[in-house]
Protein backbone atom coordinates (compact mmCIF):
# COMPACT_ATOMS: atom_id res chain seq x y z
CA UNK A 1 0.00 0.00 0.00
CA UNK A 2 2.83 2.41 0.80
CA UNK A 3 4.46 1.70 -2.55
CA UNK A 4 1.13 2.23 -4.32
CA UNK A 5 0.72 5.59 -2.61
CA UNK A 6 4.27 6.64 -3.53
CA UNK A 7 3.71 5.66 -7.14
CA UNK A 8 0.37 7.47 -7.27
CA UNK A 9 2.00 10.59 -5.85
CA UNK A 10 4.90 10.36 -8.31
CA UNK A 11 2.52 9.94 -11.25
CA UNK A 12 0.68 13.06 -10.15
CA UNK A 13 3.89 15.03 -9.66
CA UNK A 14 5.20 14.11 -13.11
CA UNK A 15 1.89 14.98 -14.75
CA UNK A 16 1.80 18.31 -12.88
CA UNK A 17 5.28 19.17 -14.18
CA UNK A 18 4.27 18.74 -17.83
CA UNK A 19 0.85 20.31 -17.22
CA UNK A 20 2.30 23.50 -15.75
CA UNK A 21 5.77 23.59 -17.27
CA UNK A 22 5.15 22.17 -20.72
CA UNK A 23 7.16 19.55 -22.59
CA UNK A 24 10.22 18.17 -20.84
CA UNK A 25 12.66 15.33 -21.41
CA UNK A 26 12.88 12.36 -19.08
CA UNK A 27 16.26 13.63 -17.91
CA UNK A 28 14.83 17.02 -16.98
CA UNK A 29 11.90 15.40 -15.18
CA UNK A 30 14.27 13.09 -13.31
CA UNK A 31 16.24 16.12 -12.14
CA UNK A 32 13.15 18.03 -11.04
CA UNK A 33 11.68 15.10 -9.16
CA UNK A 34 14.91 13.66 -7.75
CA UNK A 35 14.24 10.22 -9.26
CA UNK A 36 16.37 7.99 -11.48
CA UNK A 37 15.69 7.71 -15.20
CA UNK A 38 14.36 4.17 -15.08
CA UNK A 39 11.71 5.24 -12.56
CA UNK A 40 10.77 8.21 -14.74
CA UNK A 41 10.57 5.90 -17.75
CA UNK A 42 8.13 3.64 -15.91
CA UNK A 43 5.98 6.54 -14.75
CA UNK A 44 5.93 8.03 -18.23
CA UNK A 45 4.94 4.68 -19.72
CA UNK A 46 1.95 4.43 -17.36
CA UNK A 47 0.76 7.94 -18.11
CA UNK A 48 1.26 7.38 -21.83
CA UNK A 49 -0.71 4.13 -21.79
CA UNK A 50 -3.55 5.97 -20.04
CA UNK A 51 -3.58 8.61 -22.79
CA UNK A 52 -2.46 11.47 -20.51
CA UNK A 53 0.94 12.17 -22.07
CA UNK A 54 2.88 11.22 -25.18
CA UNK A 55 6.55 11.06 -26.01
CA UNK A 56 7.92 12.48 -29.23
CA UNK A 57 11.17 13.72 -30.69
CA UNK A 58 11.78 17.48 -30.51
CA UNK A 59 11.87 19.42 -33.74
CA UNK A 60 14.96 21.26 -34.92
CA UNK A 61 17.26 20.56 -31.96
CA UNK A 62 20.38 21.81 -33.77
CA UNK A 63 22.45 19.12 -32.05
CA UNK A 64 24.19 16.08 -33.43
CA UNK A 65 23.17 12.62 -32.27
CA UNK A 66 19.88 11.14 -31.24
CA UNK A 67 17.71 13.73 -29.46
CA UNK A 68 16.02 12.96 -26.13
CA UNK A 69 12.29 12.32 -26.37
CA UNK A 70 10.05 14.98 -24.90
CA UNK A 71 7.10 14.16 -22.65
CA UNK A 72 4.09 16.27 -23.69
CA UNK A 73 0.60 16.54 -22.21
CA UNK A 74 -2.23 15.15 -24.34
CA UNK A 75 -3.95 18.51 -24.56
CA UNK A 76 -6.54 17.58 -27.18
CA UNK A 77 -7.49 14.26 -25.58
CA UNK A 78 -7.94 15.23 -21.93
CA UNK A 79 -9.78 18.39 -20.92
CA UNK A 80 -11.94 20.13 -18.34
CA UNK A 81 -14.91 22.44 -18.72
CA UNK A 82 -14.13 25.76 -17.04
CA UNK A 83 -16.67 28.51 -16.34
CA UNK A 84 -16.17 32.11 -15.26
CA UNK A 85 -19.00 34.21 -13.80
CA UNK A 86 -18.14 37.90 -13.60
CA UNK A 87 -20.52 40.76 -12.88
CA UNK A 88 -20.87 41.70 -16.56
CA UNK A 89 -20.11 38.52 -18.50
CA UNK A 90 -20.24 34.73 -18.53
CA UNK A 91 -17.50 32.58 -20.08
CA UNK A 92 -17.26 28.84 -20.70
CA UNK A 93 -14.21 27.09 -22.10
CA UNK A 94 -12.90 23.66 -22.94
CA UNK A 95 -9.35 23.66 -21.55
CA UNK A 96 -6.94 20.90 -22.45
CA UNK A 97 -4.33 19.33 -20.19
CA UNK A 98 -1.33 21.64 -20.25
CA UNK A 99 -3.44 24.80 -20.09
CA UNK A 100 -4.58 25.09 -23.70
CA UNK A 101 -7.90 26.82 -24.30
CA UNK A 102 -9.29 24.64 -27.07
CA UNK A 103 -12.60 26.46 -27.45
CA UNK A 104 -14.62 29.07 -25.62
CA UNK A 105 -18.00 30.78 -25.50
CA UNK A 106 -18.91 34.16 -23.99
CA UNK A 107 -22.15 36.02 -23.28
CA UNK A 108 -22.98 39.32 -21.57
CA UNK A 109 -24.52 39.21 -18.11
CA UNK A 110 -27.05 41.98 -17.42
CA UNK A 111 -26.97 43.54 -13.98
CA UNK A 112 -30.41 42.26 -13.07
CA UNK A 113 -30.09 41.07 -9.48
CA UNK A 114 -30.19 37.44 -8.35
CA UNK A 115 -30.02 35.59 -11.65
CA UNK A 116 -29.07 32.01 -10.81
CA UNK A 117 -31.51 30.53 -13.33
CA UNK A 118 -30.18 32.53 -16.28
CA UNK A 119 -26.52 32.07 -15.33
CA UNK A 120 -26.93 28.31 -15.04
CA UNK A 121 -28.98 28.12 -18.25
CA UNK A 122 -26.37 29.96 -20.31
CA UNK A 123 -23.35 28.18 -18.85
CA UNK A 124 -24.93 24.73 -19.12
CA UNK A 125 -25.83 25.47 -22.74
CA UNK A 126 -22.27 26.52 -23.50
CA UNK A 127 -20.84 23.56 -21.61
CA UNK A 128 -22.91 21.07 -23.59
CA UNK A 129 -21.88 22.76 -26.83
CA UNK A 130 -18.20 22.55 -25.92
CA UNK A 131 -18.58 18.90 -24.91
CA UNK A 132 -20.47 18.10 -28.09
CA UNK A 133 -17.79 19.40 -30.45
CA UNK A 134 -14.88 17.73 -28.64
CA UNK A 135 -13.16 14.80 -30.35
CA UNK A 136 -15.12 11.56 -29.88
CA UNK A 137 -12.16 9.82 -28.22
CA UNK A 138 -11.40 12.68 -25.82
CA UNK A 139 -12.41 12.64 -22.17
CA UNK A 140 -13.65 15.37 -19.84
CA UNK A 141 -12.02 14.86 -16.43
CA UNK A 142 -13.62 17.71 -14.52
CA UNK A 143 -15.83 20.78 -14.45
CA UNK A 144 -15.23 23.88 -12.38
CA UNK A 145 -16.29 27.51 -12.10
CA UNK A 146 -15.07 30.84 -10.83
CA UNK A 147 -17.70 33.04 -9.18
CA UNK A 148 -17.53 36.65 -7.97
CA UNK A 149 -18.65 35.96 -4.40
CA UNK A 150 -18.04 34.00 -1.21
CA UNK A 151 -18.14 30.26 -1.90
CA UNK A 152 -18.71 27.48 0.62
CA UNK A 153 -15.99 24.86 0.10
CA UNK A 154 -17.13 21.44 -0.98
CA UNK A 155 -20.54 22.03 -2.52
CA UNK A 156 -20.25 25.20 -4.61
CA UNK A 157 -22.84 27.12 -2.62
CA UNK A 158 -22.58 30.89 -3.13
CA UNK A 159 -23.04 32.14 0.42
CA UNK A 160 -22.85 35.84 -0.46
CA UNK A 161 -22.45 37.71 -3.73
CA UNK A 162 -23.17 41.34 -2.85
CA UNK A 163 -22.88 42.85 -6.31
CA UNK A 164 -25.71 40.73 -7.74
CA UNK A 165 -27.68 39.90 -4.61
CA UNK A 166 -26.83 36.20 -4.43
CA UNK A 167 -27.31 34.71 -0.95
CA UNK A 168 -27.09 30.93 -0.38
CA UNK A 169 -27.48 30.03 -4.06
CA UNK A 170 -26.73 26.38 -4.92
CA UNK A 171 -24.72 27.31 -8.00
CA UNK A 172 -22.40 24.30 -8.25
CA UNK A 173 -25.15 21.73 -7.77
CA UNK A 174 -27.52 23.45 -10.21
CA UNK A 175 -24.88 23.81 -12.92
CA UNK A 176 -23.88 20.16 -12.54
CA UNK A 177 -27.50 19.08 -12.84
CA UNK A 178 -28.17 21.20 -15.91
CA UNK A 179 -24.96 20.11 -17.64
CA UNK A 180 -26.09 16.49 -17.39
CA UNK A 181 -22.60 15.04 -17.89
CA UNK A 182 -22.36 13.11 -14.64
CA UNK A 183 -19.69 15.47 -13.30
CA UNK A 184 -19.81 17.58 -10.15
CA UNK A 185 -18.93 21.24 -10.68
CA UNK A 186 -16.33 22.59 -8.27
CA UNK A 187 -16.66 26.31 -7.55
CA UNK A 188 -14.10 28.78 -6.25
CA UNK A 189 -13.95 32.47 -5.47
CA UNK A 190 -12.73 34.41 -8.50
CA UNK A 191 -9.91 36.26 -6.71
CA UNK A 192 -8.69 33.12 -4.95
CA UNK A 193 -8.55 31.32 -8.29
CA UNK A 194 -6.94 34.34 -9.95
CA UNK A 195 -4.18 34.29 -7.33
CA UNK A 196 -3.52 30.60 -7.99
CA UNK A 197 -3.50 31.17 -11.76
CA UNK A 198 -1.05 34.08 -11.56
CA UNK A 199 1.23 32.12 -9.24
CA UNK A 200 1.25 29.07 -11.52
CA UNK A 201 1.10 30.63 -14.99
CA UNK A 202 1.26 34.41 -14.78
CA UNK A 203 3.10 37.31 -13.18
CA UNK A 204 3.63 35.41 -9.93
CA UNK A 205 5.57 32.44 -11.34
CA UNK A 206 8.53 31.81 -9.05
CA UNK A 207 6.99 33.62 -6.06
CA UNK A 208 5.95 31.65 -3.00
CA UNK A 209 4.32 34.64 -1.31
CA UNK A 210 2.03 36.92 -3.30
CA UNK A 211 -1.09 39.04 -3.10
CA UNK A 212 -3.55 39.25 -5.96
CA UNK A 213 -6.11 42.08 -6.01
CA UNK A 214 -8.98 41.58 -8.44
CA UNK A 215 -11.24 44.49 -9.38
CA UNK A 216 -14.68 43.96 -10.85
CA UNK A 217 -17.46 46.19 -9.57
CA UNK A 218 -15.83 45.73 -6.17
CA UNK A 219 -12.47 44.32 -5.14
CA UNK A 220 -11.59 40.75 -4.23
CA UNK A 221 -8.32 39.27 -3.12
CA UNK A 222 -6.27 36.13 -2.99
CA UNK A 223 -3.16 35.56 -0.90
CA UNK A 224 -0.55 32.86 -1.48
CA UNK A 225 1.61 32.10 1.58
CA UNK A 226 4.45 29.62 1.27
CA UNK A 227 3.09 28.50 -2.09
CA UNK A 228 -0.39 27.74 -0.73
CA UNK A 229 -3.64 29.66 -0.93
CA UNK A 230 -4.69 31.23 2.37
CA UNK A 231 -8.32 30.13 2.69
CA UNK A 232 -9.23 30.62 6.37
CA UNK A 233 -11.27 28.56 8.81
CA UNK A 234 -14.40 28.37 6.66
CA UNK A 235 -12.91 29.06 3.24
CA UNK A 236 -13.89 32.73 3.28
CA UNK A 237 -10.49 34.33 3.90
CA UNK A 238 -8.88 37.14 1.90
CA UNK A 239 -11.93 39.34 1.46
CA UNK A 240 -9.45 42.15 0.98
CA UNK A 241 -12.06 44.43 -0.55
CA UNK A 242 -13.79 44.59 2.84
CA UNK A 243 -10.72 45.76 4.72
CA UNK A 244 -11.82 49.11 6.19
CA UNK A 245 -9.51 51.92 5.06
CA UNK A 246 -11.76 54.95 5.65
CA UNK A 247 -13.89 54.37 8.76
CA UNK A 248 -14.91 57.98 9.48
CA UNK A 249 -16.34 59.40 6.27
CA UNK A 250 -16.10 56.41 3.97
CA UNK A 251 -18.44 55.54 1.13
CA UNK A 252 -21.17 52.97 1.83
CA UNK A 253 -20.27 49.43 0.79
CA UNK A 254 -22.51 46.67 -0.54
CA UNK A 255 -21.60 44.53 2.46
CA UNK A 256 -23.35 46.98 4.80
CA UNK A 257 -20.21 48.63 6.16
CA UNK A 258 -18.62 51.93 5.16
CA UNK A 259 -15.15 52.85 3.99
CA UNK A 260 -14.20 49.37 2.75
CA UNK A 261 -11.37 49.23 0.23
CA UNK A 262 -13.76 48.25 -2.57
CA UNK A 263 -16.08 51.13 -1.71
CA UNK A 264 -13.19 53.59 -2.02
CA UNK A 265 -11.49 52.16 -5.13
CA UNK A 266 -14.22 50.20 -6.93
CA UNK A 267 -15.94 51.00 -10.19
CA UNK A 268 -18.52 53.41 -8.80
CA UNK A 269 -15.96 55.27 -6.70
CA UNK A 270 -13.86 56.08 -9.76
CA UNK A 271 -16.83 57.02 -11.94
CA UNK A 272 -18.33 59.25 -9.25
CA UNK A 273 -14.99 60.97 -8.61
CA UNK A 274 -14.70 61.62 -12.35
CA UNK A 275 -18.20 63.13 -12.47
CA UNK A 276 -19.70 60.40 -14.66
CA UNK A 277 -23.50 59.95 -14.49
CA UNK A 278 -25.01 56.96 -12.69
CA UNK A 279 -26.25 55.38 -15.92
CA UNK A 280 -22.64 54.89 -17.04
CA UNK A 281 -21.02 51.77 -15.64
CA UNK A 282 -18.95 48.80 -16.69
CA UNK A 283 -15.45 48.29 -18.01
CA UNK A 284 -15.85 50.61 -21.00
CA UNK A 285 -16.93 53.51 -18.78
CA UNK A 286 -14.01 52.90 -16.47
CA UNK A 287 -11.52 52.71 -19.32
CA UNK A 288 -12.88 55.97 -20.70
CA UNK A 289 -11.90 57.70 -17.43
CA UNK A 290 -8.45 56.13 -17.57
CA UNK A 291 -8.04 57.22 -21.21
CA UNK A 292 -9.20 60.76 -20.41
CA UNK A 293 -6.72 60.96 -17.55
CA UNK A 294 -3.95 59.82 -19.88
CA UNK A 295 -4.87 62.65 -22.28
CA UNK A 296 -4.55 65.18 -19.48
CA UNK A 297 -8.16 65.75 -18.47
CA UNK A 298 -7.78 67.27 -14.97
CA UNK A 299 -11.01 65.85 -13.49
CA UNK A 300 -10.29 62.32 -14.70
CA UNK A 301 -6.66 62.60 -13.61
CA UNK A 302 -7.61 63.78 -10.12
CA UNK A 303 -10.16 60.97 -9.83
CA UNK A 304 -7.58 58.38 -10.77
CA UNK A 305 -5.10 59.83 -8.29
CA UNK A 306 -7.71 59.80 -5.51
CA UNK A 307 -8.50 56.15 -6.19
CA UNK A 308 -4.77 55.41 -6.31
CA UNK A 309 -4.25 56.93 -2.87
CA UNK A 310 -6.89 54.72 -1.26
CA UNK A 311 -5.57 51.72 -3.17
CA UNK A 312 -2.09 52.55 -1.89
CA UNK A 313 -3.33 52.60 1.72
CA UNK A 314 -4.84 49.15 1.27
CA UNK A 315 -1.73 47.76 -0.42
CA UNK A 316 0.52 49.25 2.27
CA UNK A 317 -1.50 47.49 4.98
CA UNK A 318 -1.29 44.19 3.12
CA UNK A 319 2.47 44.44 2.61
CA UNK A 320 3.00 45.13 6.30
CA UNK A 321 0.82 42.17 7.22
CA UNK A 322 2.04 39.53 4.75
CA UNK A 323 5.45 40.62 3.40
CA UNK A 324 4.69 39.39 -0.15
CA UNK A 325 7.27 39.13 -2.90
CA UNK A 326 4.80 40.59 -5.41
CA UNK A 327 1.44 42.35 -5.46
CA UNK A 328 -0.56 41.74 -8.65
CA UNK A 329 -3.41 43.92 -9.88
CA UNK A 330 -6.05 42.12 -11.94
CA UNK A 331 -9.52 42.67 -13.36
CA UNK A 332 -10.41 46.35 -13.69
CA UNK A 333 -7.45 47.21 -11.41
CA UNK A 334 -5.24 46.11 -14.30
CA UNK A 335 -6.60 49.14 -16.18
CA UNK A 336 -6.51 51.49 -13.20
CA UNK A 337 -3.09 50.71 -11.72
CA UNK A 338 -0.79 52.19 -14.42
CA UNK A 339 -2.38 55.62 -14.01
CA UNK A 340 -2.46 55.34 -10.21
CA UNK A 341 0.96 53.75 -9.67
CA UNK A 342 2.54 56.97 -8.42
CA UNK A 343 0.04 57.29 -5.57
CA UNK A 344 0.30 53.59 -4.69
CA UNK A 345 4.09 53.74 -4.56
CA UNK A 346 4.00 56.96 -2.52
CA UNK A 347 1.80 55.29 0.10
CA UNK A 348 4.10 52.27 0.21
CA UNK A 349 7.11 54.54 0.70
CA UNK A 350 5.37 56.46 3.49
CA UNK A 351 3.51 53.68 5.30
CA UNK A 352 5.33 50.36 4.82
CA UNK A 353 8.18 49.22 7.05
CA UNK A 354 11.46 49.57 5.14
CA UNK A 355 12.44 45.89 5.51
CA UNK A 356 9.05 44.81 4.12
CA UNK A 357 9.06 47.11 1.10
CA UNK A 358 12.65 46.68 -0.03
CA UNK A 359 11.99 43.60 -2.17
CA UNK A 360 8.28 43.72 -3.02
CA UNK A 361 7.32 44.09 -6.68
CA UNK A 362 4.14 45.58 -8.10
CA UNK A 363 2.78 44.17 -11.35
CA UNK A 364 -0.41 44.01 -13.37
CA UNK A 365 -1.91 40.62 -14.15
CA UNK A 366 -0.06 38.79 -16.90
CA UNK A 367 -3.14 36.68 -17.66
CA UNK A 368 -5.48 39.64 -18.00
CA UNK A 369 -9.19 38.87 -17.96
CA UNK A 370 -8.38 35.17 -18.36
CA UNK A 371 -6.85 34.95 -14.87
CA UNK A 372 -10.04 33.77 -13.20
CA UNK A 373 -10.87 31.37 -16.04
CA UNK A 374 -7.36 29.90 -15.86
CA UNK A 375 -7.81 29.49 -12.12
CA UNK A 376 -11.12 27.72 -12.64
CA UNK A 377 -9.47 25.33 -15.09
CA UNK A 378 -6.72 24.54 -12.59
CA UNK A 379 -9.40 23.76 -9.99
CA UNK A 380 -10.95 21.37 -12.50
CA UNK A 381 -7.65 19.57 -13.05
CA UNK A 382 -6.81 19.24 -9.34
CA UNK A 383 -8.27 15.75 -8.88
CA UNK A 384 -6.50 14.42 -11.98
CA UNK A 385 -3.16 15.84 -10.86
CA UNK A 386 -3.57 14.32 -7.39
CA UNK A 387 -4.40 10.83 -8.71
CA UNK A 388 -4.10 10.61 -12.50
CA UNK A 389 -5.01 6.99 -13.11
CA UNK A 390 -7.67 6.77 -10.40
CA UNK A 391 -9.40 9.95 -11.53
CA UNK A 392 -9.28 8.94 -15.19
CA UNK A 393 -10.73 5.51 -14.39
CA UNK A 394 -13.52 7.00 -12.27
CA UNK A 395 -14.37 9.60 -14.91
CA UNK A 396 -14.58 7.21 -17.82
CA UNK A 397 -16.62 4.73 -15.76
CA UNK A 398 -19.12 7.31 -14.48
CA UNK A 399 -22.26 7.34 -16.68
CA UNK A 400 -23.59 10.74 -17.64
CA UNK A 401 -27.26 11.54 -18.05
CA UNK A 402 -28.22 9.67 -21.18
CA UNK A 403 -24.83 8.06 -21.79
CA UNK A 404 -21.18 7.81 -20.79
CA UNK A 405 -18.85 10.82 -20.49
CA UNK A 406 -17.20 9.78 -23.74
CA UNK A 407 -20.50 9.92 -25.62
CA UNK A 408 -21.44 13.32 -26.97
CA UNK A 409 -24.84 14.51 -25.77
CA UNK A 410 -27.01 16.27 -28.37
CA UNK A 411 -27.50 19.99 -27.94
CA UNK A 412 -31.21 20.23 -27.08
CA UNK A 413 -32.27 23.48 -28.74
CA UNK A 414 -31.25 25.58 -31.74
CA UNK A 415 -31.83 28.85 -29.87
CA UNK A 416 -28.50 30.02 -28.53
CA UNK A 417 -28.18 32.63 -25.78
CA UNK A 418 -26.35 35.92 -26.35
CA UNK A 419 -22.66 35.69 -27.14
CA UNK A 420 -20.50 34.39 -29.93
CA UNK A 421 -18.01 31.52 -30.13
CA UNK A 422 -14.52 32.50 -29.08
CA UNK A 423 -11.21 31.51 -30.53
CA UNK A 424 -8.71 28.85 -29.68
CA UNK A 425 -5.94 30.26 -27.53
CA UNK A 426 -3.19 29.18 -25.20
CA UNK A 427 -2.98 30.25 -21.59
CA UNK A 428 0.29 32.05 -21.98
CA UNK A 429 0.76 35.53 -20.54
CA UNK A 430 0.60 38.55 -22.86
CA UNK A 431 3.31 41.15 -22.62
CA UNK A 432 3.63 42.61 -19.14
CA UNK A 433 3.16 46.25 -18.29
| DSSP letters spanning 325-360 | SEEEEEETHHHHHHHHHHHHHHHHHHHS-HHHHSS-
- What is the CATH class of 2-73? mainly alpha
Give the domain 78-192+370-426 fold. Nucleotidyltransferase; domain 5 (3.30.420)
Which has the higher per-residue pLDDT, 16 or 233? 16
Say whether pLDDT at 157 is over 90. no
Q: How far apart are CA 209 and CA 205, in angstroms?
A: 10
3-state secondary structure of 271: helix
Stretch 138-144: mean pLDDT: 96
What stretch of H or E contains 229? strand 228-229
pLDDT-based confidence at residue 426 (cuts at 50, 70, 90): very low
Predicted pLDDT at 76? 95
Q: CA 258 → CA 220, 274, 388, distances in Å?
A: 16, 20, 47
Q: How far apart are CA 39 and CA 203, in angstroms?
A: 33
pLDDT-based confidence at residue 64 (cuts at 50, 70, 90): low
Predicted pLDDT at 392? 92
Predicted pLDDT at 233? 85
Worst-scoring range by mean pLDDT, 24-38, 81-95, 209-223, 389-403? 389-403
Stretch 251-258: mean pLDDT: 90
Stretch 311-329: mean pLDDT: 97
3-state secondary structure of 3: helix
Percent with pLDDT over 90 in the chain: 74
pLDDT-based confidence at residue 69 (cuts at 50, 70, 90): confident
pLDDT tens digits, one per residue of 18-57:
999 999 999 999 999 999 999 999 999 999 999 999 998 8
pTM above 0.85, yes or no: yes
Stretch 106-122: mean pLDDT: 90
Residue count (the chain): 433
Smallest Cα–Cα separation from 365: which of 208, 237, 226, 194?
Answer: 194
Smallest Cα–Cα separation from 80: which of 63, 92, 68, 67?
Answer: 92
Say whether pLDDT at 405 is over 50. no
pLDDT-based confidence at residue 396 (cuts at 50, 70, 90): confident
Stretch 57-83: mean pLDDT: 82
Give the Cβ contact number of residue 206 at 10 Å.
Answer: 9
Worst-scoring range by mean pLDDT, 61-70, 284-293, 321-330? 61-70
Which has the higher per-residue pLDDT, 100 or 411? 100
Stretch 238-263: mean pLDDT: 92
Q: How far apart are CA 70 and CA 215, in angstroms?
A: 40
Predicted pLDDT at 410? 41
Q: How far apart are CA 53 and CA 389, in angstroms?
A: 12
Task: For CA atoms 105, 109, 113, 115, give the dihedral sign.
Answer: negative
Q: Where in the chain is the domain with CATH 3.30.420.40?
A: 78-192+370-426, 205-365
Predicted pLDDT at 2? 84
Stretch 272-300: mean pLDDT: 94
Percent with pLDDT over 70 in the chain: 89
Say whether pLDDT at 408 is over 70. no
Worst-scoring range by mean pLDDT, 124-133, 252-261, 346-355? 252-261
pLDDT tens digits, one per residue of 163-203:
677 888 899 999 999 999 999 999 999 999 999 999 999 99
3-state secondary structure of 383: helix
Say whether pLDDT at 239 is over 70. yes
3-state secondary structure of 26: helix
Smallest Cα–Cα separation from 376: which of 197, 230, 215, 134?
Answer: 197
pLDDT-based confidence at residue 230 (cuts at 50, 70, 90): very high
Q: Where in the chain is the domain with CATH 1.10.10.10?
A: 2-73
Smallest Cα–Cα separation from 151: which of 188, 195, 196, 114?
Answer: 188
Say whether pLDDT at 323 is over 80. yes
Q: How far apart are CA 52 and CA 397, in angstroms?
A: 16
Which has the higher per-residue pLDDT, 386 or 57? 386
Say whether pLDDT at 407 is over 50. no
Residue range 205-365 in CATH 3.30.450.20 = no
Amino acid sequence: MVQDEIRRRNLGTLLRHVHLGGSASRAVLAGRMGLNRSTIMGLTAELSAAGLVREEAPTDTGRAGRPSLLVRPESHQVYVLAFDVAVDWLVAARVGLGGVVLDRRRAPRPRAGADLERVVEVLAWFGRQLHEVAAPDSVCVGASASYCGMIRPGDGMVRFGPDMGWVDQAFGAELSRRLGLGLPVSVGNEAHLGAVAEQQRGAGVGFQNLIYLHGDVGVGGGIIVGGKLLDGEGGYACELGHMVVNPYDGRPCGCGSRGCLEAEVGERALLDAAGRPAELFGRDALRAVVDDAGRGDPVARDALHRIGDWLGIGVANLINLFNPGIVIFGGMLRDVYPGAAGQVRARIAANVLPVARERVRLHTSALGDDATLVGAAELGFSALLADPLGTLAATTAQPAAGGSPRQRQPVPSPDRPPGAPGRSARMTPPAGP
